[in-house]
Amino acid sequence: MMPTRWALLAASLLLGGCDLDSLTDHTDEARRQLSNEGFTELQVTRSVNQPNQYRFRGRREDMLCTGHLEYADSANTRSYTTSITCGTSIPMTELEPLCESGSNGEACEIAASALRDAEPVDYTRMTHFAERACLLERARACFYVGVAMERGDRGLPQNENLAFVNYSRACDAEEPAGCLNAGLMRYQGEGAQVQHDVACQFFQRACNMDYVRGCAELGQCYRDGEGFERNFDRARELLERACTAEVGIACTNLGNMYELGQGVPQDDARAFRYYGQSCSLDYQRGCRYAAWLQLHGRGPVPNRAIGARVMGGFCDRGDAGACLDLGVALHEGYPDLPQDRPRAYNYFRTGCEGGNMPACRNVGVYLRGGLGGAPRDMSMARPFFERACAGGVQQACEDARG
């Protein structure tokens, strides 16, 4: 949100002997007074209906401001009051004509920002002002336009190619969120083929602007050797920086490094702590990974029952991999999580329905062997083996031929 400032100033000018005719044009004097208050790029006009009032717009402390200065005369004294509004407090009735004049990109950007923060959001109007501001080289506005085009639900048709162009424009104008989103689009292959090297360059630009989410993604580039030579020390440094700044994905990826022993001693306890930190930041993958460690008896205080309960919740919410993991644990059985193959079978079926190919193979295994209350029927099992085989599970290909 752009900064907001209100000010109400009052002063008295001793003008001994001066002509205090209220109809005198004080435009130049008003401009001097406003300059003394720290305003630059001033435009001052005298009100037609209130001759002692002078409307203005200008900049102070790098913010666009509007307002009016009004004189009041008495005896040998002329006093003035100044009402000033800066940033998003400027009413839309003033911002809109400033924007539509065709040259004030900042007014367009402030209008877009104000509409974005309103409830409910009028995305059509917001995007209209953002487009105008972007054409006038306002970086944040180009980012808004990119979001609208990527999503296709904010007043513009979806166009991933143009979304990337606008994110890139925002990035070139040093808007770090534009760098991040341009990088994510190239990393995920949205609107173009996957280009990890290009993506990681965008993440580096965002990180160089102290945008910690960009540092988190850059850390992943170094960890996985995508776009840069693999460097676990640099990856850990970047992920620690972003995790300390409460970026959930960074805490998760840092935990993953400790779980796998990537450039650090393997340490389940530290991995669990980082996953838990990520989970507390509402990054659900961190919760999922912490539950996986518990489910496999690898938490600092192993408790498979808790891990199973959390993993079951993820399965219920559509995480097919969680269904597989919980099914495997229930198939095996442990002292603190008794074997329950009927439940395992149900979880495998749910996982398969959600597109998890190993889960499909396990459904076939249960049907082939009549496990967990499933009917023993190879003709029923074979389609599950074939589906898993087509999905890349090699063992299922052999199972299907059996």
3-62 confidence digits (pLDDT tens): 333 333 333 333 333 333 445 678 888 888 888 888 888 888 887 777 778 888 787 776
Q: What is the mean pLDDT of the chain?
A: 87
pLDDT-derived band at 357, boundaries 50, 70, 90: very high
- Predicted confidence at residue 72, as pLDDT, reads 64
- Predicted confidence at residue 74, as pLDDT, reads 47
Stretch 206-227: mean pLDDT, rounded?
Answer: 96
Range from 71-80, 96-105, 165-174, 223-232 carrying the lowest mean pLDDT: 71-80
The CA distance from 156 to 169, in Å, is: 18
* pLDDT at position 233 over 60: yes
Backbone angles phi, psi at 124, to 5 degrees: -65, -50
The CA distance from 55 to 53, in Å, is: 7
- Predicted confidence at residue 105, as pLDDT, reads 87
Q: How many residues does the structure list for the chain?
A: 402
pLDDT, tens digit, 9 for 90 and up, residues 46-87: 877 777 788 887 877 767 777 778 776 544 555 566 667 666
Show me where the domains of the chain are located.
4-87
- Predicted confidence at residue 50, as pLDDT, reads 72
Please indicate whether residue 10 or residue 389 has the higher confidence score (pLDDT): 389
Please check whether residue 161 is in contact with residue 192, taking contact to mean a CB–CB distance below 8 angstroms: yes
Backbone angles phi, psi at 84, to 5 degrees: -130, 135
Alpha-carbon distances of 355 from 306, 320, 360, 367, 391, rounded to whole Å: 25, 7, 8, 18, 9
* pLDDT at position 89 over 60: yes
The CA distance from 142 to 203, in Å, is: 18
Alpha-carbon distances of 197 from 3, 193, 202, 217, 259, rounded to whole Å: 36, 12, 9, 12, 26
Q: DSSP assignment, residue 373?
A: G
Alpha-carbon distances of 167 from 183, 186, 211, rounded to whole Å: 9, 11, 15
Q: Tell me whether residue 292 is exposed, middle or buried, using C-beta atoms within 10 angstroms of its C-beta: 0 to 12, 13 to 18, 19 or more.
A: buried
- Predicted confidence at residue 365, as pLDDT, reads 98
Please check whether residue 221 is in contact with residue 254, taking contact to mean a CB–CB distance below 8 angstroms: no
pLDDT-derived band at 383, boundaries 50, 70, 90: very high
* pLDDT at position 136 over 50: yes
Percent share of the chain, pLDDT over 90: 61
The CA distance from 226 to 247, in Å, is: 21
Contacts 24+ apart (CB under 8 A), 115-121: 116/144, 117/1, 117/88
Task: Summarize the chain as % helix, strand, coil (round to 5).
Answer: 60, 15, 30
* pLDDT at position 1 over 60: no
pLDDT, tens digit, 9 for 90 and up, residues 142-159: 998 998 899 887 778 899
pLDDT-derived band at 337, boundaries 50, 70, 90: very high
Stretch 297-314: mean pLDDT, rounded?
Answer: 93
pLDDT-derived band at 334, boundaries 50, 70, 90: very high
- Closest to 142 measured CA to CA, from 97, 109, 100: 109
Stretch 318-344: mean pLDDT, rounded?
Answer: 97
pLDDT-derived band at 179, boundaries 50, 70, 90: very high
- Predicted confidence at residue 21, as pLDDT, reads 41
pLDDT-derived band at 2, boundaries 50, 70, 90: very low
pLDDT, tens digit, 9 for 90 and up, residues 270-282: 999 999 999 999 9
Q: Tell me whether residue 306 is exposed, middle or buried, using C-beta atoms within 10 angstroms of its C-beta: 0 to 12, 13 to 18, 19 or more.
A: middle
